[in-house]
Amino acid sequence: MKQFFKFVLASMVGFIITSAVLFIIFIFLIAGLISAGSDKTVEVEPNSVLQMSFSYAIPERTPNNPLSGLSFLGIDGEKTLGLNDILANIKKAKTDANIKGIFLDESYMASGEATTEEIRNALVDFKTSGKFIIAYSEIYTQGFYYLASVADKIYVNPKGIFLFHGFNSEVTFLKGALDKLGIEAQIIKVGTYKSAVEPYFLTKMSPANRLQVNSYLGSLYDHFLTGISASRHISKDSLFNIANELKVRFPEDALKYKLIDGLKYKDEVLNELKESAGIGQKQDLKNIPLAEYNNNIPKKDNDDKKKAPKNSIAIIYASGEINGGDGDESSIGSERISKALRQVRLDDKVKAVVLRVNSPGGSSLASDVIWREVMLTKKVKPIIVSMGDLAASGGYYISCAADSIIAEPNTITGSIGIFAILPNMQKFFNNKLGITFDGVKTGKYADLGNISRPLTPEEKAILQSQVNHGYDDFTKAVADGRHKTQAYINSIGQGRVWTGAQAVKLGLVDRLGNINDAIQSAAKKAKIKHYNLVSYPEQKSFLNKFGLGLNAEIKTHLLKSELGDNFKYYEQIKGVTQMMRTPQARIPYDIVIN
């Protein structure tokens, strides 16, 4: 027995030592990868071409991840740049003598309309330098073509695909699936157009929802055609007719209707790039990918603490769905954003605030918590909202108290409304699983919200009253912030979705513009000319999010790889569980423009 315990103890010690050694080796491996993938300063050779390719959903700011750009643990090896750095690189390239032009290469623009708009406008500004932009792809999606339409030359592979057919937006309805499972979605909502709940109790769009989708989709499409018309010098009517009749079915059709400038294979485009950059045909093209060029941007003088001005403008990034708690880079946690707002409000060096909102909304309570902090900040210093792809429902709630709201023409906003979904899973439990429930309670409403039975009429009336109260608070907050009557806000509210261009006419947005316009507006209101830009909330370091954060990132990547285009359905079903029970100020479903 004594020998047995010695053996067990020795085994345990050996296991602990082995585990410790393996852990240390793993840490060194991670450190080595971080070192290998660390951002090293990149020298740009004369006569270089900046190569830009977008095949990922562009976040608002570049993730703080030293492993980005490396293939490791199932994580995509592609370097992800945020919109902030993409815009900064284009601006830098405009005056960089070593950069002769930009090559837009094989992109499909997985991001929203407003993000594409910001990059497109930056490219338009780049062209004022007299430098060239050449675009090429084997497959042109409408999103990439809208971006590429500003190029001096647009080429497509002779055997490629050119999509130009107009916009469509499709909703996935889950009622049939819920019926088969014996699950009833009990809906409590305010707003004729608050259609986020429709997929759970209807099998097709309601007339009101069809009306609003036609309206905002038409506004987005009109802006799309207007931009291409101005760049390609083709009338909007002609463009509409080309798309409506599907006149572009082969690449040569796109050339015939002057949507592109030629049919070329990539080697021919590369030769033209050499010629445009002043490089001999026998020499290698000096193209520098955007992610590498990002490491060439030198620090600005005002980034040096010794030279930095005392005045700062804080940019607070609020991206993703709104929920309670801390959130992360892809979601808005009311605690994290509120803390950032308090931080800049109490910092005397911060003279103005830009709240960058890119959100479909979420929890109405969490939205109200953030709204309160925006209100308090406004009393102390100027706060300007810059809207990204989405600033709808809860995303609009947290925006409405600002001094001024600036949006892109194709920002999706509005959706002023509240809803709640409570599942009745009685038939599912009883008929599908054979499970029944019984119990006792000390009060009539002690089990209010129990999903194992349907709501009583009295309970439904109580929940409806609570949702009505939330809608009243929402419309009052908007009315106060926008200096309108509550009756007027109710008339344009009701959950209806608007584009940025429509919202300006309605008074929900002050003017059209990008994040740089918002920064300039904040500086003007604060009466400062020289300032330093500081970003909030502070991005977590790689080691801080190495555990759960990295684990979640790996799981998400693997699911995306496995499910492909069907990943959106997984996310929609997953989102149902997050919307249950808690009143939501959220945009109707996930708007995807095809």
State residue 564's pLDDT score.
56
Kindly tell me if the per-residue pLDDT of 540 is higher than 80: no
343-379 core/surface letters (b: 16 or more CB in 10 A; e: else): ebbeeeebbbbbbbbbbbbbbbbbbbbbbbbbbebbe
For 443, the token pair is 């009060």
Chain-centre distance of CA 342, in angstroms?
A: 24
Task: Decide: helix, strand or coil at residue 484.
Answer: coil
Are 365 and 583 spatial neighbours (Cβ–Cβ below 8 Å)?
A: yes
Task: Decide: helix, strand or coil at residue 321.
Answer: strand
For 15, the token pair is 């296991």
Q: Catalytic pick from 48, 219, 386, 393?
A: 393
Question: What amino acid occupies position 479?
Answer: A
DSSP-derived letter for residue 429 is I
Kindly tell me if the per-residue pLDDT of 553 is higher than 60: no
To which residue do tokens 């599907």 refer? 246
Residues 6+ apart with CB under 8 A from 587: 196, 360, 361, 390, 392, 393, 395, 412, 415, 497
Q: Is position 379 annotated as part of the catalytic site?
A: no
Task: Decide: helix, strand or coil at residue 369.
Answer: helix
Model confidence pLDDT, tens digit, residues 332-383: 999 999 999 999 999 999 999 999 999 999 999 999 999 999 999 999 999 9
Q: φ and ψ at 189, to 5 degrees?
A: -150, 165
Model confidence pLDDT, tens digit, residues 169-210: 999 999 999 999 999 999 999 989 988 899 999 999 999 999
State residue 562's pLDDT score.
57
Q: Which of 16-20, 263-267, 567-571 has the highest mean pLDDT?
A: 263-267
Q: Is position 282 annotated as part of the catalytic site?
A: no
Cα angle: 512, vertex 470, 185; to 5 degrees = 100
pLDDT band with cut points at 50, 70 and 90 for residue 8: very low
Domains of the chain: 48-164+248-296 (3.90.226.10), 306-436+447-454+493-586 (3.90.226.10)
Give 180's Cβ-side CA count (13 Å radius).
Answer: 3
Q: What pTM, to 2 d.p., does this model score?
A: 0.86
Are 156 and 184 spatial neighbours (Cβ–Cβ below 8 Å)?
A: no
Mean pLDDT of 463-478: 96
Model confidence pLDDT, tens digit, residues 16-28: 555 444 444 444 4
State residue 45's pLDDT score.
92
- Could you tell me whether strands 584-586 and 361-363 are parallel, antiparallel, or unpaired per DSSP bridges? antiparallel
Kindly tell me if the per-residue pLDDT of 391 is higher than 50: yes
Model confidence pLDDT, tens digit, residues 232-257: 999 999 999 999 999 999 999 999 99
Are 195 and 392 spatial neighbours (Cβ–Cβ below 8 Å)?
A: no
Cα 180 from Cα 313, distance rounded (Å):
54
The percent of residues in the chain predicted with pLDDT above 90, rounded, is: 73
Q: Catalytic pick from 79, 94, 131, 194?
A: 194
